[in-house]
A and B are shown apart, each in its own frame.
Chain A
């Protein structure tokens, strides 16, 4: 789920950080640049692991602050295909389930990848919500809102940034598609 990656980045150190020791200032600037952001092909940056080297410190003509080049290692959230992850249910609609990890919410399980055979029942309390029920050996198993749901990663995509703002849904730079179509997957309460 979490990987270390080494990258090299050139950054400008804003003057309000000049009073701190250099490595602390660079770390703070790197935190503001990378934390909680998705890097294409690498995943969601969770934390700066360490700073391997800092070089530079020159002031380029026309700038008001010095530029440093730092080699750092980042901790990235990058699930691999075939990994099993435990998540919570965020919403359940006619298109399938949407799961959340707290720090990452764009996990979708579309209807073709749900457990089968299944059926859905519209939830009386809320309009768009639908309850998904698994029918196994003539017994009905419900997906409750509070359960922890285990899913298998089917695919991880990084859609390109749209040039024009599309519809109401905010743009998701990283989308994980999961599947629940196997023994042992689904709410943990089903499997004792």
Chain B
């Protein structure tokens, strides 16, 4: 075996998931007849558990275009697309020297990420539940504010 090229390109989790899906990998009973082997299925199961399961090519192209103004390296954009940080502490380990390079643009970057990249389906349900609870909590606070005035 001879190595011709060690690195002919990096793949995001989504691209590999797309490749496995095009070969016929699925979560349902079609497993037995698909031309995908057992070890490839383990990778497929792992990827379906990450945020890559909801992404599409357009979303990622859109995100990369919007990231131009943030001066991020390719590896950092790859990490962000694979992980989808939801807030600043989660973004911190992904971008090297976050504070010096980003200064006050971290909030803008987090907002861009949460706007363009879709969350994992299980996280979206939790976010909806929290939003519903949050609305119930703010109402008594407003009532107290009015009483004080």
Chain A residues within CB distance 8 Å of chain B: 1-10, 31, 35-36, 39, 41-42, 46-47, 49, 71, 73, 75, 77, 80, 82-84, 86, 101-103, 148, 150, 152, 182-185, 188, 191-192
Interface contact B6-A41, CB-CB below 8 Å: yes
Given contacts A35-B39, A103-B39, A103-B46, contact A86 B83 (CB under 8 A): yes
Interface contact B11-A80, CB-CB below 8 Å: no
Instruction: Determine the chain A residues whose CB is within 8 A of the CB of B19 once the complex forms.
Output: 47, 49, 75
Bound complex: CA of A148 vs CA of B120, how far in Å?
A: 13
Instruction: Determine the chain B residues whose CB is within 8 A of the CB of A47 once the complex forms.
Output: 16, 19-20, 40, 43
Q: Closest A-chain residue to B8, C-beta based?
A: A4
Given contacts A102-B46, A152-B93, contact A9 B1 (CB under 8 A): yes
Q: Is B7's beta carbon under 8 Å from chain A?
A: yes
Interface contact A83-B75, CB-CB below 8 Å: yes
Beyond known contacts A4-B11, A84-B82, A86-B83: 13 more, CB 8 A cutoff:
A2-B16, A3-B8, A3-B9, A5-B8, A6-B5, A8-B4, A9-B2, A31-B37, A86-B50, A102-B46, A182-B93, A184-B85, A191-B89
The distance from the CB of A177 to the nearest CB of chain B, in whole angstroms, is: 16
Given contacts A3-B11, A84-B94, contact A8 B2 (CB under 8 A): yes
Q: Is B111's beta carbon under 8 Å from chain A?
A: no
Bound complex: CA of A144 vs CA of B8, how far in Å?
A: 39
Interface contact A150-B42, CB-CB below 8 Å: no
Q: Is B96's beta carbon under 8 Å from chain A?
A: yes
Bound complex: CA of A83 vs CA of B94, how far in Å?
A: 7
Interface contact B16-A46, CB-CB below 8 Å: yes
Bound complex: CA of A36 vs CA of B36, how far in Å?
A: 13
Given contacts A7-B1, A83-B75, A184-B85, contact A102 B8 (CB under 8 A): no
Bound complex: CA of A5 vs CA of B3, how far in Å?
A: 8
The distance from the CB of A101 to the nearest CB of chain B, in whole angstroms, is: 5
Instruction: Determine the chain B residues whose CB is within 8 A of the CB of A46 once the complex forms.
Output: 16, 39-40, 43
Q: Is B107's beta carbon under 8 Å from chain A?
A: no
Bound complex: CA of A135 vs CA of B109, how far in Å?
A: 30
Q: Closest B-chain residue to A69, C-beta based?
A: B2
Interface contact B3-A101, CB-CB below 8 Å: no
Instruction: Determine the chain B residues whose CB is within 8 A of the CB of A10 once the complex forms.
Output: 1
Instruction: Determine the chain A residues whose CB is within 8 A of the CB of B65 once the complex forms.
Output: none
The distance from the CB of B22 to the nearest CB of chain A, in whole angstroms, is: 11
B80-95 at interface with A (beta carbon < 8 Å): 82-83, 85-87, 89-94
Bound complex: CA of A103 vs CA of B39, how far in Å?
A: 7
Q: Is B33's beta carbon under 8 Å from chain A?
A: no
Instruction: Determine the chain B residues whose CB is within 8 A of the CB of A8 once the complex forms.
Output: 1-2, 4
Bound complex: CA of A109 vs CA of B83, how far in Å?
A: 19
A1, A148, A182, A183: the one contacting B82 at CB < 8 Å is A1
Given contacts A46-B40, A83-B75, A101-B46, contact A4 B7 (CB under 8 A): yes
